[in-house]
Chains A and B, each alone.
Chain A
Amino acid sequence: MSADVAEPAGAPAARPAPEPAGPERIADSASFRRLVVGLPFVWLLLLFLVPFLLVLKISLSTLALGQPPYEPVFPLAEIASFGERLRELSFENYLFLTDDPLYLDSLISSLVTASVSTVLALLVAYPFALGLARAPERLRPMLLVLTILPFWTSFLIRVYAWMGILRNEGFLNQLLLWLGLIDQPLVILNTNTAVLIGIVYSYLPFMVLPIYASLERQDPRLLEAAADLGSPPARAFWQVTFPLSLPGVLAGCLLVFIPAVGEFVIPDLLGGSETLMIGKTLWNEFFINRDWPVASAVAVVLLVLLVGPLLLLQRARGSAGAGAL
Chain B
Amino acid sequence: MSALGEARPQPAPTGRSLGSIRRSFAPWADPAEVPLIEFARVSKRFGSFAAVSELDLAIYRREFHALLGPSGCGKSTLLRMLAGFEEPTSGEVRLDGQTLNGIPPHKRPVNMMFQSYALFPHMSVEKNVEFGLKQDGMARSERADRVAEMLKLVKLEPFRSRKPAQLSGGQQQRVALARSLAKRPKVLLLDEPLGALDKKLREETQFELMDLQQSLGLTFLIVTHDQEEAMTMADRISVMREGRIAQVGTPETVYEAPASRYVAEFVGGVNILSGTVAERRGDRVRLTVPGGIIEADVPVGSRLQTGSPAVFAVRPEKLRIARHAPADPGVNAFRGEVWDIAYLGDMTLFNARLPGGEILKAATVNAARASAEPLGYEEEVWLTFAPDAGVVLPE
| A1 to B48 CA separation, bound complex (whole angstroms) | 12
Q: B73 near A230 (CB under 8 angstroms)?
A: no
B 329-366 to A, binary, CB cutoff 8 A, 1 in contact else 0: 00000000000000000000000000000000000000
Which of A4, A8, A228, A233 touches B111 (beta carbons < 8 Å)? A228
Q: A230-B136, A230-B183 are in contact. Are A11 and B105 (CB under 8 A)?
A: no
Q: A224 near B118 (CB under 8 angstroms)?
A: yes
**Which 9 pairs show the lowest CB-CB distances between chains A and B?**
A229-B132, A230-B135, A7-B71, A225-B118, A221-B118, A227-B105, A1-B46, A227-B106, A228-B112
Q: Which residues of A contact B192 (CB under 8 A)?
A: 8, 10
- Is there a chain B Cβ closer than 8 Å to A42's Cβ? no
B residues touching A (Cβ–Cβ < 8 Å)? 46-47, 49, 51, 69-77, 80, 83-86, 104-108, 110-112, 114-116, 118-122, 131-132, 135-136, 179-180, 183, 191-192, 195-196, 225-226
Task: List 8 contacting pairs A-B, 8 Å CB cutoff, sorted by A.
Answer: A6-B71, A6-B72, A7-B76, A8-B191, A8-B225, A221-B118, A229-B132, A229-B179
Q: Please, which residue of chain B has its CB at the minimum distance from the CB of A1?
A: B46
Q: B72 near A228 (CB under 8 angstroms)?
A: no
Q: A7-B225, A11-B195, A221-B118 are in contact. Are A230 and B71 (CB under 8 A)?
A: no
Q: Which of A1-51 contact B (CB under 8 A)?
A: 1-2, 4-11
Q: Given contact pairs A7-B69, A10-B226, enumerate 12 new A-B contacts (beta carbons under 8 Å).
A: A2-B46, A4-B77, A5-B49, A7-B72, A10-B192, A221-B118, A225-B120, A226-B106, A228-B112, A229-B131, A229-B183, A239-B131
Which of A8, A222, A228 touches B120 (beta carbons < 8 Å)? A222
Q: A5-B77, A10-B225, A229-B135 are in contact. Are A219 and B72 (CB under 8 A)?
A: no
Q: Which residues of B contact A10 (CB under 8 A)?
A: 192, 195, 225-226
- Is there a chain B Cβ closer than 8 Å to A232's Cβ? yes
Q: Which of B70, B122, B135, B196 gathers the greatest number of chain A CB atoms within 10 Å?
A: B135
Q: Which of A183-230 contact B (CB under 8 A)?
A: 219, 221-222, 224-230
- Is there a chain B Cβ closer than 8 Å to A102's Cβ? no
| A226 to B191 CA separation, bound complex (whole angstroms) | 16
- Is there a chain B Cβ closer than 8 Å to A66's Cβ? no
- Is there a chain B Cβ closer than 8 Å to A63's Cβ? no
| A160 to B106 CA separation, bound complex (whole angstroms) | 50
| A221 to B70 CA separation, bound complex (whole angstroms) | 22
Q: A231 near B72 (CB under 8 angstroms)?
A: no
| A231 to B104 CA separation, bound complex (whole angstroms) | 10
CB distance from A210 to the nearest CB of B (A): 17
CB distance from B265 to the nearest CB of A (A): 18
| A228 to B181 CA separation, bound complex (whole angstroms) | 12
CB distance from B156 to the nearest CB of A (A): 18
Q: DSSP majority for the A interface? A: helix
| A9 to B115 CA separation, bound complex (whole angstroms) | 11
| A4 to B72 CA separation, bound complex (whole angstroms) | 10
CB distance from B198 to the nearest CB of A (A): 8
Which of A5, A233, A235 touches B72 (beta carbons < 8 Å)? A5
CB distance from B134 to the nearest CB of A (A): 9
CB distance from B296 to the nearest CB of A (A): 34
Q: Which residues of A contact B131 (CB under 8 A)?
A: 226, 229, 231, 239
Q: B120 near A231 (CB under 8 angstroms)?
A: no
Q: Which residues of A contact B71 (CB under 8 A)?
A: 6-9
Q: A224-B114, A225-B118, A228-B111 are in contact. Are A7 and B135 (CB under 8 A)?
A: no
CB distance from A316 to the nearest CB of B (A): 15
Q: A224-B105, A230-B136, A232-B106 are in contact. Are A1 and B47 (CB under 8 A)?
A: yes
Q: Please, which residue of chain A has its CB at the minimum distance from the CB of B76?
A: A7
- Is there a chain B Cβ closer than 8 Å to A240's Cβ? yes
